[in-house]
Chains A and B, each alone.
Chain A
């Protein structure tokens, strides 16, 4: 158990809908990362938060947004869903992003299926 909790584990929804994925980081971790794992794109970095503030953006679509709350949990919002958004979405957390020695611990992921 990595200590990172993601809910729900599975989500099936229709095209055009909006969903929210939730992540609770490990106790004491201030930084949260979101990644998307799909068959064609592999593991892609989406966005990162540190202590409530957005710090880095990767290949995140404009239809997607995220935030980190004062209690440090994070939510990834996906809207106007398309079939191609079907993927495994991982959250990871680390104590801090600075310094190349900081380890990231991953949750078990949320499998999103858009039908």
Chain B
């Protein structure tokens, strides 16, 4: 079945440091890939997405490239801020059909803490 593996956390960085959160996946077919962010006490918000191989998703300074050859979708940001402290989830969605009818499969989440 589909699965998503994220690098283990938590990750602690100083402000303006470079961020990488690794994400690899296993899926049948051609999934879409997503990064969601969960701020303390809130729901999940879509951060960025990529729908086909070599697509780059970007938002708020975050980027991730859909790499089919390595089945990866690593999240990067060049200079993190304290306000980026949150839990980050990598997820995939396969197309219609079978038991994967549009559902999202999530990784376990990575807690990011950024210190001033």
Told that A48-B102, A98-B101, A100-B95 touch, could you supply 20 new A-B pairs with CB distance under 8 A? A33-B103, A33-B104, A48-B101, A56-B101, A56-B102, A90-B43, A92-B104, A97-B101, A98-B95, A98-B102, A99-B95, A99-B96, A103-B49, A104-B46, A104-B93, A104-B104, A105-B46, A106-B36, A106-B45, A107-B43
Across the interface, name the chain B residue whose C-beta is closest to A108.
Answer: B43
The A-B contact count (CB < 8 A) is 74
Do residues A31 and B102 form an inter-chain contact, with CB atoms below 8 A?
Answer: yes
A45 and B46 in contact, given A98-B96, A100-B94 (Cβ under 8 angstroms)? no
Q: How large is the interface on B (under 10, 10 to 19, 20 to 34, 35 or more residues)?
A: 20 to 34
**Interface stretch of the complex, out of B10-18, B67-75, B77-85, B105-113:** B105-113
- CB neighbors of B among A29-87 (8 A): 31, 33, 35, 42-43, 45, 48, 50, 55-58
B positions within 8 Å CB-CB of A: 30-32, 36, 42-46, 49, 51, 89, 93-96, 99-109
Chain A, interface residues (CB within 8 Å), range: 20 to 34
Across the two chains, which residue of chain A brings its CB closest to B51?
A101
Within 8 Å CB of B51, what residues of A? 100-101
A102 at interface by CB-CB < 8 Å: yes
Q: Is the CB of B43 within 8 A of A100?
A: no
Q: Is the CB of A106 within 8 A of B109?
A: no
Chain B residue at minimal CB-CB distance from A101: B51
Whether A100 contacts B30 in the complex (CB less than 8 A), given A43-B109, A109-B43, comes out as: yes
